[in-house]
Structure 1
Amino acid sequence: MKELVEVLAKNLVDFPEQVEVVQTTKDHTIVLELHVAPEDMGKVIGKQGRIAKAIRTVLKAAATKDNIKVILEIIQ
C-alpha cells in the first residue's frame, strides 16, 4: 500500500523528492500519512478533492482483497 501511494503521488507533484509516506498499522487498519511539499498540496488534492478521492478509491480496492481497511491522510 505504501509503495502504491508513493508511485501515485510522485507522478502528480513537481517535487517528487519531498514525497514521503508513513505507514502505521492498528488491528486490521492501515493508516498512511502522505507528506508533500506545500506547493504540491493542490496537485495531490485536486479540484474539490477529486484526485485525493481517486487515490483513496484505488487504495480501498487494493485493500479489499486483503480484507483490511486503509485510511489516507494528506499532510503538508
Structure 2
Amino acid sequence: MDDFEVLIYPYNAQDMPPTARGPAVRSATVRPTGEEGATGHPRYAGDGVQVDIDPVTGTIEAITVDEAELPDGWSARIADA
C-alpha cells in the first residue's frame, strides 16, 4: 500500500468546475495503518487526518480531520487522482 496526499476543500457548489474551486485549505500525507476502517476499506492516517480509501477506485470513503467530520458541503480528494 502506498502513502497518499489528501486535499481538503471548503464548500463549493456541486456543479462548479474543478478549475473554479480554488486551492485546498489543508493537505495531509496519510500512510496505511494496517487496519480496516468502518467502511471495510483500508484505513490511512497522518497529520491529524484519518481516511478509509477504496484501493480499487482511489476514492475516499470516510474521513475525519482532527477527530471531527468535515463540515457539510466540504470535500476531500486524493491528490492527482
TM-score after normalising by structure 2: 0.30
TM-score (norm 1): 0.31
Larger RCO (CA under 8 A, 6+ residues apart):
1
Higher strand share: 2
